[in-house]
Each structure stands twice: as structure tokens, then as C-alpha cells.
Amino acid sequence: MGLKFRHEMKHVISPMDRLVLKQRLDVVAQPDPHARGGNYHIRSLYFDNIYDKALAEKINGTARREKFRIRYYNGDTGFIHLEKKSKIVNLSSKQSTLITATEAQHIIDNDLDWMMESGNPLVEELYTKMRGQGIKPKTITDYIRDPYIFAPGNVRVTIDYNIRTGIRCGDFLNNDCVTVPVCENIIILEVKWDEYLPDIIRDIVQLKDRRTCSFSKYAACRLYG
């Protein structure tokens, strides 16, 4: 079965834009049911190779690219996701599977032999690329997300802010690890949809003097290594 790609657009917005958007979205969209008090915390660990292939492809705007990451929400290491995100221009697709905290730590520690016996295709693909392409954990990204959903068009609108990064990848599972802010006051609006974007959402996310961009939290966090 082939990957299902979705449309995606991003805007860099201001703190005032965020307040305006939330007021509008609260009227027409539903908050993500996983949000607590309207938002949740995301921590991701991104992978790259020794040549920073994923970073270079993002900066250069390569049309077809992919990247792996491990992610968990609200500090809950009981539900950790291994994800592979693929992009073709402005279309994106995500494959995801659950792994345990022990498995995540083994990956971080480059203890990989178990992966080929996991029976999980995504884990096995990551193993192949860690061994064959030399990709490895590269940087931690932390941020807060305001998530909304709108059923027609299967629309998802997210607002990400308070972007921070961890200094050492080995601290990924430590909720008390030291993180530092990057891109202070930068807020990212992201809109994803399937076949069509309903006019009501298109109108809501149109902000004066804001244009689509390709901002990458991963690239921003790589300022620290």
C-alpha cells in the first residue's frame, strides 16, 4: 500500500497573530482531544548522517526528502513514537510506530542488533539506514503546540511556540534535562489537509503580511550542534 500524502503549508507568525488565530479557530474548529488545556508539549529526537544530509536537503529545498525522528508527548515516555516523515515539494506523509523507552535508549546508545529481529518494518528500515547510511540521533527539539482539527478536508491546524533544544541527545528521555531557547518569539503556524482546504479555514489562516515559508524547527535547533 502506497504512502498517503497530504498538503502542507507553514507561516512564521507573531505572538499577536497566535492570539487572533486561536480566537478564530475556537469558534469553528475542535481542539485536538489529546490536548490538555488547549495544548501539549512535544519532544522529538531527529536523526541525520555525518554529512548532515537531512539538514542540507531542508536548507536547499530539495523536492524529495525524508527524515526520521523519535517523539513523545507531555513527558510521557510510556508512549514513544518512531516516525519517518517523507516530503515531495508541499506534500507530506508520515509513517509511525510505537517503541518502548528501553528500545529508544538502545537506539540512542547505538545498540542496534535487536532492531533486525523486531519484526517491525519501520524499526528495520531505521536499522538499515543507521548501518548503511550512518544516520544517528542528532538533536533534541522541544516545543508547545496548540492543535486544532476540522473534519471537512481532514484539516489539522497547529501553532508551535516556545521552541527549545537539548544539548545532549542522550538526555532525550530525561524530562528534567537542560534545554535552551532557539528563535525566541518565533511561532509556527502549520496547516495540513487532504484533497481540499475548506474556504472557512483558508480565510482564517490568511494573516496580513504573512506568507508561506519552509521554517524547520530541526534546522533551527541545529544551531547548537
The whole-angstrom distance between residue 205's C-alpha and the CA centroid of its chain comes to 20
pTM for this model (two decimals): 0.92
Domain 6-224 indexed as CATH 3.20.100.30: yes
In this prediction, residue 214 has a pLDDT band, given cuts at 50, 70 and 90, of low
In this prediction, residue 148 has a pLDDT band, given cuts at 50, 70 and 90, of very high
Provide the residue ranges of all domains of the chain, joining segments of one domain with +.
Answer: 6-224
Average pLDDT over residues 161-181: 91
Cα 154 from Cα 145, distance rounded (Å)? 18
Most confident of 182-186, 192-196, 208-212: 192-196
Spell out the SS3 assignment of the chain.
CCCCCEEEEEEEECHHHHHHHHHHHHHHCEECCCCECCEEEEEEEEEECCCCHHHHHHHHCCCEEEEEEEEEECCCCCCEEEEEEEEECCEEEEEEEEECHHHHHHHHCCCCHHHHHCCCHHHHHHHHHHHHCCCEEEEEEEEEEEEEEECCCCEEEEEEEEEEEECCHHHCCCCCCCEEECCCCCEEEEEEECCCCCHHHHHHCCCCCCCEECCCHHHHHHHHC
pLDDT digits (tens, 9 = 90+) for 50-102: 999 998 988 888 889 999 999 999 999 999 999 999 999 889 999 999 999 99
pLDDT digits (tens, 9 = 90+) for 6-57: 999 888 898 999 999 999 999 999 999 888 889 999 999 999 999 999 989 8
Dihedrals phi, psi of 13, to nearest 5 degrees:
-125, 175
